Amino acid sequence: MVVVQRMADAMTTCSVTYRRDPGDDAWLVEVEGMPDVCTFGRTLEEAAVNACEAIAVTADIEESEVELNEHFAVGGLDLV
């Protein structure tokens, strides 16, 4: 399965999963197909911004070229 996809209009779509870490009061972000990308945010908005930045740095592209396909993990369930 391809999770990082370069689109004709120069957008890169990445599947990300947010998991709540109650111990740190933060949202952890995992990026499918990019195990070296690790980030978090205190809010979902901050986590998404940080994910775009981390993906852009890793893929050597502009942040504006990153599009997120977002998923949420709650307990043992993954929600789309």
Pairing between strand 4-6 and 12-21? antiparallel
Region 54-72: mean pLDDT is 96
Q: Which CATH number covers residue 45?
A: 3.30.2390.10
**Domain, as residue range, for 20:** 4-79
3-state percent breakdown (helix, strand, coil) of the chain, nearest 5:
25, 45, 30
Task: Give the pLDDT confidence score for residue 2 in this predicted structure.
Answer: 39
For 2-12, the pLDDT digits (tens) are 345 444 457 89
Reply yes or no on whether the pLDDT at 34 is more than 80.
yes
Domain count, the chain: 1
Task: Give the pLDDT confidence score for residue 9 in this predicted structure.
Answer: 56
Task: Give the pLDDT confidence score for residue 80 in this predicted structure.
Answer: 59
Q: Any idea what the Cα angle at residue 63 is, between residues 60 and 34, rounded to 5°?
A: 55
Reply yes or no on whether the pLDDT at 73 is more than 70.
yes
